[in-house]
Amino acid sequence: MARSLKKVENSGMTPFIFFKDRLATFKNYEYDDDQTATCTSKTLARAGFVWTGGISAICPFCLKELEFDPDDDPWEEHKKRGNDCDFVHLEKLEDSKLTLSDCIKLSQSGIVMAQFKKQNVIIEQLEQKMTVTNISATVSEVLKGPKKQSTSKSRRSRKKNP
């Protein structure tokens, strides 16, 4: 059992099933200095969120991304909007309450959502480039990962122009 848990934890797919992994995404969260704030990096991480910059955080299990106010209760906000969220359905805010089967479920959900998000990014990139007439070239460029290709191209064009 411990071995499987370790595997989930180190899978590199960052499913964020544990509180400490979610909390580790927050860097100097704005409301942490506010003594009266109910919305802090800790309450956000506890409620299932990871930081996406500024005052925003996202749930890796349902991909709801929200901009929070200092007086928000992150768990209440998550419950309001997370009808289709495995983390909300489990209602286990403490890691110690998670069973191995919960961990696997959340991990799968996180992996599926991460994949889904990745595909959405690719689709967005494609849509931005779709004004170009050559669709198949655009598709293969985006799927290959554009950075490497552009470096070799610019090197080649530099050689041509002395």
Least gap, CB of 60 to Zn ion (angstroms): 8
Among residues 39, 44, 85, 103, the one that binds Zn ion under rule CB under 5 A = 85
Each residue of 52-68: b (16+ CB within 10 Å) or e?
eeebebbbbbbebebeb
Nearer to Zn ion by C-beta: 116 or 151?
Answer: 116
Nearer to Zn ion by C-beta: 8 or 66?
Answer: 66
Residue 16 is a binding residue for Zn ion (CB under 5 A)? no
Least gap, CB of 101 to Zn ion (angstroms): 18
Nearer to Zn ion by C-beta: 55 or 142?
Answer: 55
Count residues binding Zn ion (CB under 5 A). Answer: 6
Residue 18: name the closest of 101, 81, 107, 78 by CA: 107
| 103-162: contacts with Zn ion (CB under 5 A) | none
Residue 82 is a binding residue for Zn ion (CB under 5 A)? yes
Residue 62 is a binding residue for Zn ion (CB under 5 A)? yes
Token digits of residue 129: 């480039």
Q: What is the dihedral of CA 52, 53, 57, 58, to 10 degrees?
A: -10
Least gap, CB of 88 to Zn ion (angstroms): 5
| 32-61: contacts with Zn ion (CB under 5 A) | 59, 61
CA distance 8 to 18: 10
Token digits of residue 52: 């996406």
Q: Which helix (H) or strand (E) holds 138?
A: helix 135-144
Q: Are 28 and 22 in contact, with CB atoms under 8 Å apart? A: no
Least gap, CB of 87 to Zn ion (angstroms): 5
CB atoms within 10 A of CB 23: 18
Least gap, CB of 129 to Zn ion (angstroms): 31
List residues binding Zn ion (CB under 5 A).
59, 61-62, 82, 85, 87
